[in-house]
Each structure stands twice: as structure tokens, then as C-alpha cells.
């Protein structure tokens, strides 16, 4: 087995084993410390017939001498990378089977179809060893000396190859160490969880918390949620436009994509010129991301890593840019921002970039008698039957809705700004005061609406005022990219968070334009769901008695 095959095997074992999974082997840790792979004989089948060889260069020499086809010279002349070399091999095999003559003057256009990425020959050892071929230099290759030059420059080629393999094994070693450490930690937790007077309960992760995390990551393993996000042009276009319009920021840089999903943001970065991208995700979607990245010929630029960013080990000490689409409903639902801040503190260089960089959050009072009639009062008379039991909990939930702008009945208020360069975890649970002047006469105050704006700024020292609105940001001549999830913007999958007031418990009468709401807003985490969100509100109008209510998003 070649050293590169050993590396592939170790990567497969490390990334294919779910960190945090219950499917771990109880065998002592020492058994995987010194893995010695079994030796195997690799046979390379000729590109034109069934002749077999134990050496890939001997096979290429055979094809050159018998069929006049110098694979190495053509690869050098066309400057083929790993993926185009795969296409060429499969193209030759397909043409040879049909009995067609293959010209040595062929061009890339002859085998550009992605169909040739699919192996023509099952378990084709040639494909698995293309990365063992010498690195292509900028000089053209002399057809008459294709094999001769390889032999004459064997020492320099071996030096280059050894250097490449050392780098590969260094990366694999880092990933495998992370895997081994994680498995060891899991075994320790299980041992501690066994009945014992010495076990420390504080060190054992609660089953409920583990189940919630498992549910969270598994919910991102299926296509539906990713299709929804990718089709959300408000979201995806903003990332694409910022990255493509600022290619100079990405050229030659190392990027970390936290929660990579399908790999779309990683591929944006790679296409913009990033030197390398590390795509991290703890969901099974990472396997599809790997395929997407391979199918788009970014396998040499993007490295996929399975695991939580808090537990994974990157093969680099620092990165130049962190990109992540971490935003949840009402911005903070799902608590993914904590992971992004962890990655920032551990990996981002002092002058590195956060994408996006700033978040502004807004709140407004709403009055929507039509919605109340259609969805709340409706249950009080359904074909003559009283079904108010169906209303249970409806005033305790944060509803995710697209609300018409005209439902806003007062001034909107910017209650929070998060600067992703300086924000920390304690900033994510907070209490803040806000106020709003009622702008039209209403029969009753029906609730409150919350949304957020995202800003993508090209420099760390760029300032985004707290009261900046994303929908008007580009029109005011500002740099960067911004989008809003508010009612005055193009609809997005985030919609708005709506909290309806229970006007049976909280008495509320008509309010006139010009009256003022004085309020206190709090964001916290529900006890039963650490990835959930609880919003509490206290408010009064014209110094009337204070009212209060809480809502949750589980």
C-alpha cells in the first residue's frame, strides 16, 4: 500500500467516525495507537488493453511503446490537475473499449464532460495513484523523453513527493489525534457514568443535553432544510456577492467555514481564490458536502472535517477569515453563534476577518386585527362549536411569520448590535430597555415583532452604526453588503419573530397615536432546551400599570 493510500485510509477512518456518536469500540485505546496496515499488491491495468503491471510508470511506458500514447507527456502539455487527469484516464478507457483511435494531440475539450469523473473501471488503481505522479512544472515536456526525464530526475521528484506526503500525513495525524482524543473522552464519560462512588456527576454530560444536540445536528442532515436555505436568495446572494466582489480579500488566504452544510460558502471562497478552506460540520450533511466539493473540482482546496468546532482539531494554528451562516430565528435561536465565537477566539488571526461582521436587531409594536380574527378568535366558533382549547400555548410561543409592514403601529427601535469581532457569549443573554411612539390609532396592542439585519464589511475597523438599516445601506453609498429580515425587505426564510399578547390575561384597550410605550426586553435560554430561545417583555403605556409576558421558541 502506498503512503498516499495509507493517508486516505486514515482520513476515512477519522472523518467517517462520528465524534460524539454512541457507536464507539470499547477496545483499549492502545489498540489504535500503532496501526500497521496489511501489505497489498496493486495491479495497474493498461489504458488500452487488459495487460497488468505492478508499477504505474511501467504501465505508462507500455502504453507509450505499444500504442504511441504518452500519458505523462500529454498530462504535462495540457497542465492537467488531479481531477482532469481522472477525466483523461476514464476518457481513454472509454474510447479504447469502443475501438477508437486516440490522437496524442487531443485537447482538454475532448474530455471536459464531468461524465468522465465517474470511474470507467471498477477499483481502478490508476485513479487512486494519480497523486503519486510528479508535480507538473511550468515548462513543457519533451514527448521523446517522457519516461527518461522521470528517471533522470528521480531524486528531485522523490524529494518533492516526500515533502508532499509529510504534509498529508501531518494533516491526517492531526485529524486522527482529534478522533482518538474524542473517542477516549467518550469512553471516560461512560466509565464515569457507571455506578461508582468516585464518579463525578458534574463531569458527565446530561442525557437530555446530549439528545438535544443530537437532534439539532441530525435536523441538518436532510435536503429539505438546505434546499430552503440555498433558495433563500436574500441569504445566499449576500454571501456570494460579498465574497465575489472582494476577491482580493480571499486571494491566497486560509478560510474556516463553521457549519458548512452543503459546502456552498466554502466553494464561494475557493472560487474567489482562497488558498485553502476548512469546512467543518457535525451533521451527516458533511458527506454530501465532500461529494459536492469533489464534483466541482475543489477537492485540492477544500478540506471537510466532521465534528463540532469545539472538539475538532484543524491542521493549522490560525486562519485569515471565518465565514459562517450561523443566524437562527430572531438571530440567536439554535445558539450556533457560541460556536462561531469559539472558533474566532481559537483560530482567527489578530487581523483576520469575520463574515458577516455586524448584526443589528430591531423591535416594534404591532396591531393586526385580521391575523387575530383568522388565527386566534377563529377557535372560539368553529361551525358553531367552542374550540378555544386549541388556543392553549398560542400566546406562549414565538411565532415565525412574514408580517405585512402595515402591521407595525409604532416607531421601530434598534435594541442590540453585535460586533462579531468583540462580542462574547455573555452578550447573548441580556436585558435592555426600549421605547416606541405609537404612530396610529389602534383598538388594541396585539404584540411585538423582532427581526435582524446582517452586515458584511471588508475591514475590521469598519463601523456600522447601531441604527443602520440594511435595506437602505447600499443606497447611502456605504461599502460592504447588507440584508434585512424585516417586513420592509425581500422575504427570507428567517421571516420575523412575532410575540402575541394574551389580551385576556393582559388587559389592553384602545391606544391613540402619540402615546408612548416604555418597555424592557430580555433574551435568555430555556431550561429544557439549551438551543432554544426565551424572550420576556415588560411594558407600560403612558405610565399605566406595567404588564409582562414571556414567549419561547423550542
Give the residue numbers annotated as catalytic, written as ranges. 325, 334
Strand partners, 278: 256, 303
What are the residue ranges of helices labelled H in 204-335? 207-218, 223-231, 233-245, 247-250, 264-271, 285-295
> Residue 506: which region, alpha, beta or left (left: phi > 0; alpha: psi -120 to 50)?
beta
What are the residue ranges of helices labelled H in 297-453? 337-347, 369-375
Closest CA to 454 of 337, 365, 318, 537: 337
Packing angle of the helix pair 264-271, 233-245 (nearest 10 deg) = 20
CA distance 441 to 226: 42
| DSSP sequence for 495-550 | -EEEEE--TTTS----B-TT-EEEEEEEEE--TT-TT-EEEEEEEEETT---EEEE
Compute CA distances 156 → 94, 131, 143, 146, 153, whole Å: 34, 16, 20, 16, 6
Secondary structure of 470-486 as H, E, C letters: HHHCHHHCCCCEEEECC
Find the length of the chain. 554
Compute CA distances 446 → 21, 112, 395, 508, whole Å: 45, 60, 11, 9
CA angle 227, 230, 236 (to 5 degrees): 170
> What percent of the residues of the chain are helix, what percent strand, and what percent coil, each to the nearest 5?
40, 20, 40
| DSSP sequence for 119-170 | -SSTT-HHHHTGGGSPPP-SSPPPGGGHHHHHHHTHHHHHHHHHHHHHHHHH
Buried b (16+ CB within 10 A) or exposed e, 428-461: beeeeebebebeeebeebbbbbbbbbbbbbbeee
Sheet containing 276-281: order of strands: 302-306, 276-281, 254-258, 319-323, 348-355
> Residue 324: which region, alpha, beta or left (left: phi > 0; alpha: psi -120 to 50)?
beta
CA distance 512 to 446: 14
Amino acid at each position: 500500500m502506498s503512503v498516499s493510500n495509507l493517508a486516505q485510509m486514515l482520513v476515512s477512518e477519522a472523518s467517517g467516525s462520528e465524534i460524539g456518536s454512541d457507536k464507539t469500540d470499547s477496545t483499549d485505546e492502545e489498540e489504535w495507537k500503532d496501526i500497521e496496515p496489511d501489505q497489498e499488491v496493486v495491479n495497474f491495468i493498461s489504458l488500452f488493453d487488459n495487460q497488468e503491471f505492478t508499477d504505474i510508470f511501467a504501465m505508462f511506458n507500455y502504453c507509450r511503446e505499444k500504442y504511441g500514447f504518452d500519458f505523462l507527456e500529454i498530462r504535462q502539455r495540457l497542465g492537467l490537475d488531479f481531477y482532469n487527469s481522472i477525466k483523461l484516464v476514464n476518457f481513454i478507457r472509454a474510447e479504447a473499449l469502443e475501438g477508437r483511435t486516440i490522437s496524442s494531440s487531443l485537447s482538454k475539450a475532448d474530455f471536459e464532460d464531468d461524465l468522465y469523473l465517474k470511474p470507467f473501471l471498477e477499483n481502478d488503481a490508476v485513479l487512486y495513484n494519480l497523486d503519486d505522479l510528479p508535480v507538473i512544472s511550468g515548462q513543457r515536456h519533451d514527448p521523446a523523453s517522457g519516461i527518461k526525464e522521470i528517471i533522470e530526475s528521480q531524486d528531485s521528484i522523490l524529494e518533492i513527493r516526500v515533502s508532499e506526503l509529510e504534509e498529508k500525513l501531518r494533516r491526517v495525524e492531526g485529524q486522527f489525534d482529534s478522533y482518538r482524543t474524542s473517542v477516549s473522552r467518550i469512553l471516560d464519560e461512560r466509565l464515569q457514568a457507571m455506578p461508582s462512588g468516585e464518579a463525578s456527576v458534574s463531569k458527565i454530560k446530561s442525557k437530555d443535553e446530549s439528545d438535544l444536540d443530537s437532534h439539532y445536528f441530525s435536523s441538518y442532515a436532510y435536503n429539505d432544510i438546505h434546499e430552503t436555505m440555498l433558495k433563500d436568495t436574500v441569504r445566499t446572494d449576500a454571501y456570494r456577492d460579498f465574497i465575489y466582489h472582494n476577491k482580493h480579500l480571499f486571494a491566497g488566504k486560509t478560510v474556516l467555514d463553521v457549519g458548512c452544510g452543503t459546502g456552498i460558502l466554502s466553494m464561494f471562497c475557493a472560487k474567489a481564490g482562497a488558498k485553502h478552506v476548512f469546512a467543518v460540520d457535525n451533521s451527516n450533511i458533511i458527506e454530501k458536502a465532500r461529494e459536492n466539493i469533489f464534483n466541482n473540482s475543489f477537492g485540492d482546496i477544500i478540506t471537510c472535517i466532521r465534528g463540532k468546532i469545539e472538539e475538532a482539531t484543524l491542521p493549522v494554528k490560525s486562519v485569515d477569515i471565518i465565514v459562517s451562516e450561523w443566524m437562527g430565528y430572531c438571530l440567536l435561536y439554535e445558539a450556533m453563534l457560541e460556536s462561531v465565537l469559539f472558533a474566532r477566539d481559537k483560530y482567527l488571526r489578530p487581523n483576520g476577518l469575520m463574515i458577516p461582521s455586524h448584526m443589528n436587531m430591531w423591535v416594534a409594536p404591532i396591531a393586526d386585527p385580521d391575523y387575530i380574527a383568522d388565527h386566534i378568535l377563529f377557535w372560539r366558533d368553529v361551525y358553531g362549536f367552542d374550540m378555544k382549547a386549541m388556543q392553549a400555548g398560542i400566546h406562549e410561543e414565538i411565532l415565525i411569520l412574514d408580517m405585512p409592514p402595515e402591521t407595525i403601529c409604532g416607531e421601530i427601535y434598534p435594541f442590540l448590535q453585535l460586533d462579531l469581532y468583540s462580542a462574547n457569549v455573555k452578550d447573548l443573554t441580556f436585558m435592555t430597555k426600549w421605547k416606541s411612539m405609537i404612530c396610529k390609532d389602534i383598538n388594541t396592542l396585539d404584540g411585538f415583532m423582532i427581526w435582524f439585519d446582517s452586515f458584511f464589511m471588508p475591514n475590521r475597523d469598519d463601523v456600522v452604526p447601531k441604527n443602520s438599516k440594511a435595506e437602505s445601506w447600499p443606497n447611502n453609498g456605504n461599502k460592504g453588503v447588507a440584508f434585512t429580515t424585516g417586513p420592509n425587505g425581500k422575504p427570507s426564510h428567517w421571516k420575523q419573530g412575532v410575540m402575541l399578547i394574551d389580551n385576556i390575561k393582559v388587559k389592553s384597550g384602545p391606544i391613540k397615536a402619540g402615546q408612548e410605550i416604555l418597555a424592557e426586553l430580555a433574551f435568555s435560554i430555556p431550561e429544557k432546551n439549551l438551543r432554544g430561545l426565551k424572550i420576556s417583555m415588560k411594558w407600560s403605556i403612558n405610565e399605566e400599570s406595567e404588564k409582562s409576558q414571556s414567549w419561547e421558541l423550542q
